[in-house]
Amino acid sequence: MSISTRRPRRILGAATLLAASALVLSSCVSNSPQPSSEGSATGNVPAAGSNTEEGPKVTIGFSVPAADHGFMAAMTDLAVETAAEYPDVELKVAEGTNDVSVQISQVETMINDQVDAIVLLPFDGAALTQVAQKAMDAGIPVINVDREFSTAQSSRVTVLGDNYGVGVSAGDFICAELDGKKDAKIGEIPGIDSLPLTQERSQGFKDALAKCGMEVSNRVAAEFTVESGERAASNLLQAAPELDAIWNHDDDQGVGVLAAIKAADRDEFFMVGNGGSANMMREIQSGDSVVKATTVYPAYQAADGVRIARLVAQDRALGDLLDIEVPREIVLYAAVVTAENVEKYLPTAFES
- Per-residue confidence (pLDDT) for residue 323, from 0 to 100: 79
Please give the single-letter amino acid code of residue 326: V
Q: What distances in angstroms separate CA 109 from CA 48, 131, 158, one per listed residue?
A: 36, 11, 22
Of 12-21, 216-225, 283-292, the range with the lowest mean pLDDT is 12-21
CATH topology for the 3-155+301-331 domain: Rossmann fold (3.40.50)
Of 64-78, 100-114, 214-228, the range with the lowest mean pLDDT is 64-78
Closest CA to 249 of 301, 206, 213: 206
The mean per-residue pLDDT over the stretch 121-134 comes to: 97
- Per-residue confidence (pLDDT) for residue 39, from 0 to 100: 34
- Per-residue confidence (pLDDT) for residue 12, from 0 to 100: 37
CATH of domain 163-297+339-348: 3.40.50.2300
Q: What angle do CA 35, 330, 131 make, to 5 degrees?
A: 115
Q: How confident is the model at residue 69 (pLDDT cuts 50, 70, 90)?
A: confident
Q: How confident is the model at residue 17 (pLDDT cuts 50, 70, 90)?
A: very low
Q: How confident is the model at residue 50 (pLDDT cuts 50, 70, 90)?
A: low
Q: What is the pTM of this model?
A: 0.78
- C-alpha 84/C-alpha 73 separation (Å) is 17
Coil/strand/helix, residue 87? coil
DSSP 185: -
Q: What percent of the chain has pLDDT over 90?
A: 76
The mean per-residue pLDDT over the stretch 167-181 comes to: 94
- Per-residue confidence (pLDDT) for residue 11, from 0 to 100: 38
Mean pLDDT of the chain: 87
Output 191-195 pairs: Cβ under 8 A, ≥24 positions apart. 191/221, 191/222, 191/223, 191/224, 191/249, 191/250, 191/253, 192/221, 192/223, 192/224, 193/221, 195/124, 195/125, 195/147
In this model, does residue 43 exceed pLDDT 70?
no
- C-alpha 348/C-alpha 246 separation (Å) is 24
Q: How confident is the model at residue 86 (pLDDT cuts 50, 70, 90)?
A: very high
Q: How confident is the model at residue 42 (pLDDT cuts 50, 70, 90)?
A: very low
For the chain, which residues make up each domain, given as ranges? Answer: 3-155+301-331, 163-297+339-348
- Per-residue confidence (pLDDT) for residue 8, from 0 to 100: 35
Tell me phi and psi for residue 278, to 5 degrees. Answer: -65, -35
The mean per-residue pLDDT over the stretch 48-75 comes to: 86
Please give the single-letter amino acid code of residue 130: Q
Burial of 180 (0-12, 13-18, 19+ CB in 10 A): exposed
Q: What percent of the chain has pLDDT over 70?
A: 85
- Per-residue confidence (pLDDT) for residue 13, from 0 to 100: 40
Say whether 163-297+339-348 and 3-155+301-331 share the same fold. Answer: yes
Closest CA to 248 of 236, 266, 263, 264: 236
Side-chain half-sphere exposure of 106, counting CA atoms within 13 A: 29
